[in-house]
Amino acid sequence: MKVTLLRLALGLTLSSGLASAAQIPDRRDTDSPYGVLDFFAWDQKWTKKHYNFDRIEKAAALMQEAGIKIVRVDLLWEDIEPKKGRYKFKKYDRIVKILDRHEIKTLAVLQYNPRWRKAAWNAAPDADGYIAYARATVRHFKDRVKYWEIWNEPDSKTYWLPQDELAAYSALLKRVYPAIKEEDPTAQVVLGGMTEAGPYSLRRIYQKVGPQYFDIINIHPFVDPKKSTAVETLKGIHTSLMRVMVEFNDAEKPIWFTELGAPGVQVNTPKNGWWHGPSPSEAEQAEWVRTVYREALKFKGVQKIFWAFFRDTDDFFHNGVDNFGLVRFDFSKKPAFDAYRETAQP
């Protein structure tokens, strides 16, 4: 009888401990859908030193005010491994620490070739080298970062060359996914954000490697908010994506939009249009923020939306894309900032 009671007591203690552990929130995670993209890694000459640590502090404080809970940040291969086999994390330790201090989580993007590789920055990476960089980075940040995105827009010739129907990218996923999971079994691997052709691109990845080498589907569904059909167009992209997911028995996987946005300009000029045509006004941009978060979060499976961008850039893109920010280059708030805050903190 005493043995039975002891076993019962031990069982209750163990189950209670497991239940308590399950209830402990993951400090690296947030269930909020409110994200944003910004270029905190841009401290180079070629980026006009867009950010330094003082500016990152200022941006993070404004993000917290707006209700932003997660930021998509490049952890550039060039910065982390400036020489082959030598890793440096100080810059990104500081960035992640600033975000943590403002209760903002990190979606880390692993991307772009370092100069020592002697290949174009956007060339398909050497898989062995990329996996070594990914392993080292995940190992270093696994107590602070849960989400890891594998490259940006691999279905675009701007960011991945040569374009080969995603064959090389799929092969990379197949190798890097288990490597990341070995370093951190709790890590979540995010598919590299695909362009508006994402449904087509996703099908190619499924055909080549199946659904088992990424945890979250990711797409960049930019549409023109100046058109009356903008919401229908956005929903059409999502519907096409879901159709592919169903076809490959993967319909329950989360969907993230890690870039969705539009310019907001004070005065429209021939030089500040974007790829959809004339740029929206700042008021139209603000209304699109409201519409995106009001409507797209109703789409099946859509878990997070990252507005692109948080801060305007200083004539970096030489067109309306420089005006994607919720705040202007000088950090003054646009109407879009207030619209975002209203939706995130109703």
Domain 30-344, CATH among 3.90.1640.10, 3.20.20.80, 3.40.30.10, 3.20.20.70: 3.20.20.80
Greatest C-alpha distance within the chain: 87
- pLDDT value, residue 4: 47
Chain mean position to CA 76: 14
Burial 297-323 (b: 16+ CB within 10 A, else e): eebebbbbbbbbbbbbbeebeeebbbb
- pLDDT value, residue 333: 98
- pLDDT value, residue 304: 98
- pLDDT value, residue 24: 80
- pLDDT value, residue 11: 52
Q: Mapping DSSP to helix (H, G, I), strand (E, B) and coil, where does residue 194 land? A: strand
In tens digits, the chain (346 residues) has pLDDT values of 444 444 444 454 444 454 445 568 899 999 999 999 999 999 999 999 999 999 999 999 999 999 999 999 999 999 999 999 999 999 999 999 999 999 999 999 999 999 999 999 999 999 999 999 999 999 999 999 999 999 999 999 999 999 999 999 999 999 999 999 999 999 999 999 999 999 999 999 999 999 999 999 999 999 999 999 999 999 999 999 999 999 999 999 999 999 999 999 999 898 999 999 999 999 999 999 999 999 999 999 999 999 999 999 999 999 999 999 999 999 999 999 999 999 998 7
Taken in order 71, 298, 328, 197, is the CA torsion positive or negative? positive
Q: Name the burial class of residue 110, with classes exposed (0-12), middle (13-18) and buried (19+) by CB atoms within 10 angstroms of its CB.
A: buried
